[in-house]
Chain A
Amino acid sequence: MTIRWSTFSAPSRFVWLAAKVNPWLWAVTIALSLAALYVGFFVAPTDATQGEAYRIIFIHVPAAWMSMVIYLAMAFWAAVGWMLNARMAAMLAHSLAPTGALMTFIALWTGSFWGRPAWGTWWVWDARLTSELILLFLYLGYMALKSSIDDTVRGDKASALLAIVGAVNVPIIYFSVRWWNTLHQGATISMTAAPKMAHTMLLAMLLMTFAFWAYAFAMSFTRASAIALEREQHTDWARQWALDGSSIRASKP
């Protein structure tokens, strides 16, 4: 049986799909994070130079990776929404932004808490943390622009353009920040000089990354469903979904 995936570009069917899939996504999130925590704390050995403090890496790196992946996904769906005039794609992009911003914040917070024992200061202007900070600004800018525009159509398109411009600029910004970091010899302490990774450390990090990924999916599905219902308050499908949880066309995907 092949699924015509484009069918889920209709808000009614998307909300149905999200409700169906989310319990599984949450189950995966919990299972993978428990596995990651187990491996990270009970299997992975102590680091020779940084002691137990290095264990923060098991959330810092996944959060940093996800912050970048989510931004790209957000820009992608925003672009799809703009090019194809697909409302649900735009809503999906909007739903990804807060989670992406949260991932960025977590990367910064955990990075700071890792930096204090490892390098002595609560903040280090190294390439990765500085880039994460700028990425946070990009997320906040996207959300600020969207919320400043009352007209939904203009809001969707303007934020899509901004997301695309941002996505194109991210490599440039990252490169320039790395360049800047290598020049100023004072702050050469680098977070990227992570401990040499034992296999178990890598495993814990990867497990947690996939856990965060499932989390991001579940979060954006929930939020996108809320946005769809908010925007389509007056439609029949929304009414039917809200009143008895059934979808008009759920039986024919």
Chain B
Amino acid sequence: MRTAFIAVFVRDLRLALRRRVEALLPIVFFVVAVSLFPLGVGPEAQTLRQIAAGVVWVCALLATMLSVASMYTSDHADGSLEQMMLSGRPGTVIAAAKAAAHWTVTGAPLVVTAPLIGLLLDMSRPALVTLVLSLLLGTPILSLLGGVGAALTLGLRSAGVLLILLIVPLTIPALIFGAGAVSATESGIAVGGYFSLLGALLILTALTAPLATAFALHIALE
């Protein structure tokens, strides 16, 4: 099982490295989207600091959702997905490996970029730390849930938009706890509770999403 996980994981990383520009697009979107808010809301630092937690988190969420649609499409197109599913390896392992690779390529860079973006919105240092930690726990959740959506909408028309409609409601708890933690830090409130909840959510998602994804893949490939 571990070799299957590593094989799929490494393969996806290698494929992403060959398309470096494509891999960076979600990060570019993230930066552009966050930058829109000062332009739309006004440059006043006080206002920006108040909305910063939510803005950064929502943009990270949207960037992830936009990038997740292609998790299975190219493999599906050239038939390698079917081969993987027929190979006798558990679908859950493949799904988990795919989500892990997606996080490594998209989620991790988001976590790294976020504090720089947070500075644009005049976030305080403690808030930036909380931001990084909350995204560190949150972005894997987004990749895992995104995997379910990608599998459900495999090969459909308007799969990208449909995926967002299906999966975004499910990501709301992560958004609430993640952005909430950052807001709490800005207000000086303790964040232990938020991180416990976020951590619990991550564990729950890690245990259930790959299974759901595997089911969805079987349904899509039948």
Chain B positions 136-168 with a Cβ under 8 Å from a chain A Cβ: 148, 152-153, 156-158, 162, 165-166, 168
Could you tell me the dominant secondary structure of chain B's interface residues? helix
Q: How far is the CA of A161 from the CA of B197 in the complex (A)?
A: 25
Decide yes or no: A173 and B158 within 8 Å by CB, A161-B212, A165-B212 being known contacts.
Answer: no
Chain A residue numbers with a CB within 8 Å of B165 are: 137, 140-141, 144
Q: Does A134 contact B (CB under 8 A)?
A: yes
Q: Does B210 contact A (CB under 8 A)?
A: no
Chain B residue numbers with a CB within 8 Å of A179 are: 176-177, 180, 197
Q: How far is the CA of A181 from the CA of B52 in the complex (A)?
A: 19
CB < 8 Å neighbour of B172 from A157, A165, A168, A173: A173
> What residue in chain B is nearest A180 (Cβ atoms)?
B176
Rounded to whole Å, the gap between the CB of A145 and the closest CB of chain B is: 6
Q: Does B129 contact A (CB under 8 A)?
A: no
Chain A positions 122-141 with a Cβ under 8 Å from a chain B Cβ: 134, 137-138, 140-141
Chain B residue numbers with a CB within 8 Å of A161 are: 152, 212, 215-216, 219
Chain B residue numbers with a CB within 8 Å of A176 are: 172-173, 176-177, 197
Q: Does A172 contact B (CB under 8 A)?
A: yes
Q: Is the CB of A145 within 8 A of B170?
A: no
Chain A residue numbers with a CB within 8 Å of B170 are: 165-166, 169, 173
Chain A residue numbers with a CB within 8 Å of B176 are: 176-177, 179-180
Q: Does B44 contact A (CB under 8 A)?
A: no
> What residue in chain B is nearest A179 (Cβ atoms)?
B176
Rounded to whole Å, the gap between the CB of A186 and the closest CB of chain B is: 11
Q: How far is the CA of A183 from the CA of B181 in the complex (A)?
A: 11
> What residue in chain A is nearest B215 (Cβ atoms)?
A161
Q: How far is the CA of A176 from the CA of B178 in the complex (A)?
A: 11
CB < 8 Å neighbour of A148 from B157, B168, B180: B157
Q: How far is the CA of A12 from the CA of B153 in the complex (A)?
A: 32
Chain A residue numbers with a CB within 8 Å of B166 are: 141, 144-145, 162
Q: How far is the CA of A175 from the CA of B212 in the complex (A)?
A: 22
Contact pattern, B 195-209, Cβ under 8 Å of A = 1, otherwise 0? 001000100100010
> What residue in chain B is nearest A172 (Cβ atoms)?
B173
Rounded to whole Å, the gap between the CB of B102 and the closest CB of chain A is: 18
Chain B residue numbers with a CB within 8 Å of A153 are: 222
Q: How far is the CA of A161 from the CA of B212 in the complex (A)?
A: 8
Q: Is the CB of B168 within 8 A of A149?
A: no
Rounded to whole Å, the gap between the CB of B91 and the closest CB of chain A is: 13
Chain A residue numbers with a CB within 8 Å of B222 are: 153-154, 157
CB < 8 Å neighbour of A144 from B162, B172, B201, B220: B162
Q: How far is the CA of A214 from the CA of B71 in the complex (A)?
A: 44
Rounded to whole Å, the gap between the CB of B97 and the closest CB of chain A is: 20
Chain A positions 165-222 with a Cβ under 8 Å from a chain B Cβ: 165-166, 168-169, 172-173, 175-177, 179-180, 183
Q: How far is the CA of A83 from the CA of B66 in the complex (A)?
A: 32
CB < 8 Å neighbour of A158 from B177, B184, B201, B219: B219
Q: Is the CB of B152 within 8 A of A158?
A: yes
Q: Is the CB of B152 within 8 A of A145?
A: yes
Which B residues are closer than 8 A to A by beta carbons?
Answer: 148, 152-153, 156-158, 162, 165-166, 168-170, 172-173, 176-177, 180, 183-184, 197, 201, 204, 208, 212, 215-216, 219-220, 222
Q: List 27 A-B contacts (CB under 8 A).
A: A134-B169, A138-B169, A145-B162, A148-B157, A153-B222, A154-B219, A154-B220, A154-B222, A157-B219, A161-B216, A161-B219, A162-B152, A162-B166, A165-B170, A166-B169, A166-B170, A169-B173, A173-B169, A173-B170, A173-B172, A173-B173, A176-B172, A176-B177, A176-B197, A183-B180, A183-B183, A183-B184
Inter-chain pairs besides A134-B172, A145-B166, A169-B170, 7 sampled, C-beta below 8 Å: A165-B148, A168-B208, A172-B204, A173-B170, A177-B176, A180-B176, A183-B184
